[in-house]
Structure 1
Amino acid sequence: MEWLETRELRYFTAVAEELHFGRAAERLGMAQPPLSRAVQRLERRLGVALLDRGRHGVALTPAGAVLLDEARATLDAAAAAARRTRRAVEPGGRLVLAVKANGAHDLLRALLDAYAREPDAAEVEVVLCGIGEDERMLRDGRADAALLHPLYSSLAGFDSEEVLTEEQVVVLPAGHPLAARTSLTLAEVADVPGLPAARWPLRDGGYPPGPGPEVRDLSQLAQLIALGRTSTVIPASARAWLWTAHSAVPLVDAPSVTTHIAWPPQSRSRPLAALVRTAVGLGRQA
């Protein structure tokens, strides 16, 4: 069996990202010759060329591109393991729960209240996150659990349980003509003159194309809606953050949104198991 050390993966990742041995060595705080030798040893062990070294610089081979993806995932997993291990010995066994900032407010409040009554309960630190940050916190070990929506986050690599399924609403300026409607369709809100839908960051960076404003956080979105500059589609429970200058109208044909509680599959934490059990129980009562 081939074993790859985290040290040599870190060396290779630096070279693969910089595509320059000198810059990679400087980034790693080491001399260039031992870095070059380390990467050459790795290539010999694997029996493949990872880098093309030419007169015009360094480039990844197809095999090198594969190893770069795998190395990043492995190094992230190792860092996550270290964070979770250190947190496991903190007094009181504190849990970190990552939650999307405009997520299910009533569910979160009910979950924290119900969990506090569990015999295995620990202190819970709630971190309110922007788009995609809840998933990233769970993957890199900064969070022990997260409330995730598959429409916005990936559950791949996590254990998870469904907690709450709900409909979606469109949030409009309170004085807009459509705000007086009792329900709307996606087609009716897809191209409202003068009120383009807000655009959230994509998971891999950047923004989707469209005329609507680019938004980064909930406060910015709320202000733009109140000013009559944009609209947005959100889960119905997110009504909790609406201002009096906003109006939420149900969407009859929007897909339902399911909130999952997700956690690392290798976790053996009793306080975390109690948190998951409490969340699932609340979902069954809903």
Structure 2
Amino acid sequence: MDGLEMRELRYFTAVAEELHFGRAAERLGMAQPPLSRAIQRLERRLGVLLLERNRRGVALTGAGEVLLNEARVTLDAAAAAARRTRRAASPRGPLVLVTKATGSHEILRKLLDAHAAEPDAAEVEVVLCGIGEEERLLRDGRADAALLHPLFSSLAGFDSEELLAEGQVAVLPAGHPLAARPFLSMADVDDVPGLPPARWPRRDGTYPPGAGPEIRDLSQLAQLIALGRTLAVVPASARAWLWSAHAAVPLTDAPAVTTHIAWPSHSRSRALAGLIRTASRL
């Protein structure tokens, strides 16, 4: 962001998130008067009002909302750059590959086995994470590569290689009448009496409206399906985590799910390049 300092962005972000100069100053470990003056100088430099101040408190203007979004992106990118730089200073450390805990075990095992057979292959540390965490870990510099599903995660800013394309299944309680069918359609599972579809978090952490439970982790989802409280539509490879209390029925018209290995587009890591070469040959 031309003309803006990282310190200014940190100050503004703290005030914009707290909507209170006193709390923001405490969060930053500084006194309130210099913080107020810093925000005023920032507004004068930009020539726009960022915050509405009145007796009831502080509120963001439209311009302030834009700057908050941009500042978060910039601060996150700076933190990620610092982490990647520290990782680059330790070239003998393992590559970190992140994937959902319920990701395709078969394609992951094939990738790891094929890579381990390569001469001078780097060690790969696999980090299994929860819903939506793999993209965030890759973006913030805590991982070198990630297995991502573009249907659920964004590949923007990454290079990627497609590893697998698969259909989806409906996971239901094993005793439910629909579980006995050889296949189902999306319409069949859209409005099942007493069995509302699970609601997955959006990328911003909010949930879409609906009657189904908000899913926070996969063990919770598995329990709720087994108890007959919900159903879920998931990639076919997720059958790996099913219990005997679950049934997976193929869906005839669900969009295909592709699994990509993704990595930062600006990476110059030779070790990572070796892992990607292995993945491209699977």
Same fold (TM over 0.5): yes
The answer for the alignment partner of 1:127 in structure 2 is: 127
The answer for the alignment partner of 2:154 in structure 1 is: 154
Identify the range of structure 1 (49-58 vs 176-185) with the bigger mean alpha-carbon deviation.
49-58
Report the CA distance shift for 1:270/1:91 in structure 2 as closer, same or farther (over 3 A): closer
CA–CA distance in structure 1, aligned partners of residues 120 and 66 of structure 2:
43
Q: CA deviation at 1:120?
A: 4.9
Report the CA distance shift for 1:228/1:28 in structure 2 as closer, same or farther (over 3 A): same
Report the CA distance shift for 1:116/1:11 in structure 2 as closer, same or farther (over 3 A): same
CA–CA distance in structure 2, aligned partners of residues 195 and 36 of structure 1:
53
CA–CA distance in structure 2, aligned partners of residues 175 and 269 of structure 1:
50
CA–CA distance in structure 1, aligned partners of residues 35 and 259 of structure 2:
46
CA contact (8 A) 1:151 1:257 kept: yes
Q: CA deviation at 1:91?
A: 5.8
CA contact (8 A) 1:49 1:61 kept: yes
- Give CA deviations for 1:190-231 in whole Å, capped at 9, x if unaligned: 222332222222222232222222322121222222233322
Letter in 2 for 1:61: T
- For the pair 1:144 / 2:144, whether they are aligned, the reply is yes
The answer for the alignment partner of 2:68 in structure 1 is: 68
Q: Does the residue aligned with 1:193 lie in a helix, a strand or coil?
A: coil
Report the TM-score, using the length of structure 2 for normalisation: 0.92
Q: Does the residue aligned with 1:81 lie in a helix, a strand or coil?
A: helix
CA–CA distance in structure 1, aligned partners of residues 216 and 229 of structure 2:
15
- Which runs of 5 or more residues in structure 2 are unaligned? none
Letter in 2 for 1:193: P
Residues 22-101 of structure 1 mapped to structure 2, 5 A cutoff: 22-90=22-90, 92-101=92-101
- For the pair 1:248 / 2:256, whether they are aligned, the reply is no
The answer for the alignment partner of 2:277 in structure 1 is: 277
Q: Does the residue aligned with 1:266 lie in a helix, a strand or coil?
A: coil
CA–CA distance in structure 1, aligned partners of residues 157 and 246 of structure 2:
38
CA contact (8 A) 1:120 1:270 kept: no
Q: CA deviation at 1:87?
A: 1.8
CA–CA distance in structure 2, aligned partners of residues 72 and 260 of structure 1:
26
Q: CA deviation at 1:80?
A: 0.7
CA–CA distance in structure 2, aligned partners of residues 51 and 191 of structure 1:
45
CA–CA distance in structure 2, aligned partners of residues 157 and 91 of structure 1:
23
CA contact (8 A) 1:94 1:124 kept: yes
CA–CA distance in structure 2, aligned partners of residues 121 and 261 of structure 1:
17
The answer for the alignment partner of 2:180 in structure 1 is: 180
CA contact (8 A) 1:131 1:152 kept: no
- Give CA deviations for 1:4-45 in whole Å, capped at 9, x if unaligned: 221111011111222222221111001122222222222233
Letter in 1 for 2:175: G
Q: CA deviation at 1:51?
A: 2.4
How many residue pairs match? The answer is 282
Report the TM-score, using the length of structure 1 for normalisation: 0.91
Letter in 1 for 2:65: A
CA–CA distance in structure 1, aligned partners of residues 27 and 71 of structure 2:
17
Identity %: 80
- Give CA deviations for 1:164-195 in whole Å, capped at 9, x if unaligned: 11111111222222222221111112222332
Report the CA distance shift for 1:31/1:239 in structure 2 as closer, same or farther (over 3 A): same
- For the pair 1:112 / 2:112, whether they are aligned, the reply is yes
